[in-house]
């Protein structure tokens, strides 16, 4: 099954469609809206709801102590697409539950887009559409395996068509987190377990969403479009433009932010150039933002000019990983996506490369919906501070003739080959799976989550990695 970048709307694989929408829209809020329609359209019988017949893990996060949490969207027995959360404690994943307090709102749809865990607890955020049609951003917290009643932190009340939702969450400790989202771009902070009022960034945040990254309580960074801002002791600074972006091109859009300390961060995203849509990174070192640069070698890969940067994450200042996709020619408009990764070591970015272990794109004639070429995307990148990194996504080859979820790890400058998620082949009989999110800890434990497809529906899955080995996939199950 082959994808054209110009005919995404015509794709028939629903889970893959949601991955591409996530990347091309650069908005977790848009992703949530699209996925709601997809899941509601594919709702199965109520009898299978407890077996996760239609669901997707959208975000996974692990605390330094190794416990993890995940969230996303599932279809309940009544056929509504709603937000769910689940936790992993002592290596055992629990059962997915509907976000507490959601049922009382009778939402048309809801989803969790982002999860963040710190020692002592986690937080998750997303969006729900109320009975009047308006969309609202919400947060929920987890402690000792129990999720709190959701709190609405931002609402779009101008028109039912307006989008509002949390797309990014970052926690520095239990009850001390920040969330970012849109539209318009906003941030909201939690201090000692209480969520404050949302802060907006004026005209600079129109039609965009904010990413957040926190290093301690009340000390976070935010990014959106071509702008960044800093929170210090609970107060947000005025926005500043990332240096050098205007020299690269136009239409800059920051899609990811990662900070290892208040003084050291990196952002990545896309911009428009004469060659098409390219990807960039920019770093803040010792409080000063450097000039944005194109990831070395990316333009040479991106022959069709459709670049996407899914995520950037850092082990330490000057040592980061980025991933996403580029476009290779095919015999139809837009070509096909190919997955890439790039790594920074000691402040210098290396060249963008094809994900190791995935065959490089060939020159074979590639027809839409044929099985004659390679395709794929990196959907998520995550590094543990001082530890290892993981990437996840999907890929396809002529031998597969479908899409399969993959994971790979990076440590001390070395990549492992991409690995199909163990055990998923037997479940993913329709060959339509993808890893949506990954997370790693300092101890070397990582986790990932996503979705797959079979004749019974679109189940969600989680998978763990320990000491360099990815374990068997686990299907997410839900309370009836």
Q: Is the pLDDT of residue 4 over 50?
A: no
- Please give the C-alpha separations between residue 261 and each of 172, 213, 383, 462, in angstroms, as whole numbers: 11, 9, 14, 29
User: What pLDDT was estimated at residue 342?
Assistant: 98
Q: Is the pLDDT of residue 188 over 90?
A: yes
Higher pLDDT, 113 or 2: 113
Higher pLDDT, 33 or 179: 179
- Please give the C-alpha separations between residue 124 and each of 27, 104, 161, 313, 427, in angstroms, as whole numbers: 16, 19, 24, 19, 28
Q: Is the pLDDT of residue 38 over 70?
A: no
Distance CA 227, CA 46 (A): 46
pLDDT category, 159, cuts 50, 70, 90? low
User: What pLDDT was estimated at residue 234?
Assistant: 87
* Residue 189 DSSP label: E
Mean pLDDT of 335-358: 94
Mean pLDDT of 197-206: 91
As a whole number, the mean pLDDT across the chain is 86
Q: What is the per-residue pLDDT across 162-171, written as a single tens digit (0 to 9) for each?
A: 678 999 999 9
Q: Is the pLDDT of residue 416 over 70?
A: yes
Mean pLDDT of 278-289: 96
Q: Is the pLDDT of residue 3 over 50?
A: no
- Please give the C-alpha separations between residue 113 and each of 127, 128, 302, 428, in angstroms, as whole numbers: 8, 11, 28, 23
User: What pLDDT was estimated at residue 152?
Assistant: 96
Q: What is the per-residue pLDDT across 216-236, written as a single tens digit (0 to 9) for each?
A: 988 999 999 999 999 998 899
Distance CA 326, CA 375 (A): 10
pLDDT category, 50, cuts 50, 70, 90? low
User: What pLDDT was estimated at residue 32?
Assistant: 36
Q: Is the pLDDT of residue 480 over 80?
A: no
Q: Is the pLDDT of residue 12 over 50?
A: no
Distance CA 286, CA 358 (A): 37
- Please give the C-alpha separations between residue 235 and each of 220, 256, 287, in angstroms, as whole numbers: 10, 22, 17
Q: What is the per-residue pLDDT across 463-472, written as a single tens digit (0 to 9) for each?
A: 999 988 999 9
Higher pLDDT, 470 or 159: 470
* Residue 34 DSSP label: H
Question: Minimum mean pLDDT among 255-264, 297-306, 326-335: which range?
Answer: 326-335
Length of the chain: 480
User: What pLDDT was estimated at residue 132?
Assistant: 83
Q: Is the pLDDT of residue 2 over 80?
A: no
């Amino acid at each position: 099954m082959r994808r054209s970048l110009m005919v995404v709307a015509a794709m028939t694989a629903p889970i893959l469609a949601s991955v591409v929408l996530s990347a091309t829209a650069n908005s977790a809020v848009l992703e949530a809206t699209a996925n709601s329609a997809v899941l509601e359209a594919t709702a199965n019988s109520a009898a299978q709801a407890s077996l996760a017949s239609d669901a997707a893990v959208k975000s996974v996060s692990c605390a330094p102590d190794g416990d993890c949490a995940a969230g996303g969207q599932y279809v309940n027995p009544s056929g509504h697409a709603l937000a769910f959360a689940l936790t992993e404690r002592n290596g055992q994943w629990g059962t997915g539950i509907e976000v507490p307090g959601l049922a009382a709102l009778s939402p048309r749809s809801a989803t969790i887009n982002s999860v963040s865990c710190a020692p002592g607890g986690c937080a998750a955020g997303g969006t729900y559409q109320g009975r009047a049609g308006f969309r609202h951003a919400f947060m929920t917290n987890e402690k000792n395996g129990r999720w709190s009643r959701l709190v609405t932190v931002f609402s779009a009340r101008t028109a039912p068509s307006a989008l509002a939702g949390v797309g990014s969450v970052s926690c520095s400790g239990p009850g001390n987190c920040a969330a970012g989202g849109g539209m318009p771009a906003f941030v909201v902070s939690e201090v000692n377990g209480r969520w404050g009022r949302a802060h907006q960034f004026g005209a600079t945040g129109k039609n965009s969403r904010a990413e957040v990254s926190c290093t301690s309580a009340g000390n976070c960074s935010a990014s959106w479009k071509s702008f960044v801002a800093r929170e210090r002791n609970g107060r947000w600074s005025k926005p500043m433009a990332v240096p050098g972006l205007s020299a690269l091109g136009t239409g800059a859009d920051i899609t990811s932010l990662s900070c290892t300390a208040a003084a050291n961060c990196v952002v990545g995203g896309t911009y428009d150039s004469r060659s098409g849509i390219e990807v960039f990174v920019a770093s803040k070192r010792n409080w000063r933002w450097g000039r944005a640069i194109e990831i070395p070698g990316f333009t040479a890969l991106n022959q069709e000019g459709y670049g996407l940067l899914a995520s950037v994450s850092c082990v330490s200042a000057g040592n980061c990983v980025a991933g996403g996709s580029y476009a290779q020619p095919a015999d139809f408009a837009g070509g096909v996506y190919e997955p890439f990764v790039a790594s920074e070591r000691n402040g210098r970015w290396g060249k963008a490369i094809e994900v190791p272990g995935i065959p490089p794109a060939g020159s074979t004639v590639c027809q839409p919906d044929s099985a004659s070429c390679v395709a794929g995307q990196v959907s998520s990148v995550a590094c543990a501070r001082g530890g290892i990194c993981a990437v996840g996504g999907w890929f396809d080859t002529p031998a597969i003739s479908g899409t399969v979820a993959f994971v790979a790890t990076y440590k001390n400058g070395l990549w492992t080959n991409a690995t199909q998620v163990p055990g998923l082949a037997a479940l993913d009989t329709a060959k339509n799976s993808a890893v949506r999110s990954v997370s790693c800890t300092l101890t070397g434990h990582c986790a990932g989550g996503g979705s797959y497809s079979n004749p019974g529906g679109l189940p969600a899955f989680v998978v763990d990695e320990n000491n360099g080995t990815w374990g068997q996939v686990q299907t997410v199950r839900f309370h009836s």
